[in-house]
Amino acid sequence: MKTGLLVGILLCWQVSAAQPMSWRHLPDTLQHDVRHILTVSGKIIAAPLHWNAQQWTAVGQTAFLTALVSAGDEQFKQLALSHRSPFLDQIFSLDNYHGSKTSGVLGVTVYTAGLLFNKPTLRRTGLQAIEAFYLSGTLNLLLKIVAGRRRPYAAQSAYEFRPFRGTTEYRSLPSGHVVTAVAVSTVFARTFRNSLWRVFWYGSAAIVAGARVYHNAHWVSDLIPAAVLGYAVGDYVTRFSVPTHRQSNQSHSAVQWFWQIGPGNVQLRLVF
């Protein structure tokens, strides 16, 4: 709700001096944007086919880090359950909005405002938010089904898996809320070159991550692949240009990403 209010203020500021778009161009613009969504979707889905050994090593490193953290999952669960309070209940209620369907509605709202009021920046941001939301969510759902990890509220152990189990109870890894929250936050965080603005969006995604553990819906290790996937998708869609419908799409390489580990630091790098 607070996120929606902030973006509502942003929309009012952006459209206050805008002129409505020419309805004559609306069909062409919509057609272009749908084609753009399909193009981005195809490139992201096909990206693993173009990864080299370095990128696949990064996948292995992410899996290793997830497995390493999972050793403390049950302890983190007990810690979260034993530190509940009315104050934290309020803070962690953010996952009722951010990372849920509300994030998708937010993208549609921003896109519609940019389209109707002829504001290319708003339209581009909204389109990217829509792409980030549905692509990260779709990829995450596939991973959930394959992993089949049991959620902490139903599991006796952190290592209960039933791959390809269709019920929600066995869709813990990765966290869907975290994937979409990070993906959408990455899009909005790059709207302005302002540190506080970015802290707000990435901070809100971090709160959502904490909330999923606090609400006993996910293990801590579920958050690692979720954050990596969400950032990778959000980063890619913001780099993939959204030209006007009169411009042709430029060529783009597939997503390539890898961990860079050095003395005193660990970095996730993405190459396009």
Q: Which helix (H) or strand (E) holds 266?
A: strand 265-271
Residue spans per domain, the chain: 70-240
How far, rounded to the nearest angstrom, does the alpha carbon of residue 262 sit from its chain's CA centroid? 27
Question: Is it the case that residue 158 has pLDDT exceeding 90?
Answer: yes
**104: which residues sit within 8 A by CB, 6+ positions away?**
130, 133, 134, 137, 180
* 61-70, 126-135, 151-160, 164-173, range with the lowest pLDDT: 164-173
Looking at per-residue pLDDT, the higher value among 124 and 24 belongs to: 124
Q: What confidence tier does 25 reach under pLDDT thresholds 50, 70, 90?
A: confident
Quickly name the fold that domain 70-240 has: Vanadium-containing Chloroperoxidase; domain 1 (1.20.144)
Q: Does residue 270 sit in helix, strand or coil?
A: strand
Average pLDDT for residues 115-121, to the nearest whole number? 89
| pLDDT, tens only, 47-91 | 889 888 988 998 999 999 999 999 999 999 999 999 999 999 999
Tokens representing 68?
């390493």
Cα-based distances in Å from 137 to 2, 145, 163: 22, 12, 18
Cα–Cα dist 4/180, whole Å:
16
Q: What is the mean pLDDT of the chain?
A: 84
* 8 Å CB contact between 182 and 234: yes
| pLDDT, tens only, 172-181 | 999 999 999 9
Bridge partners of 161? 149
* Single pTM value for the model: 0.81
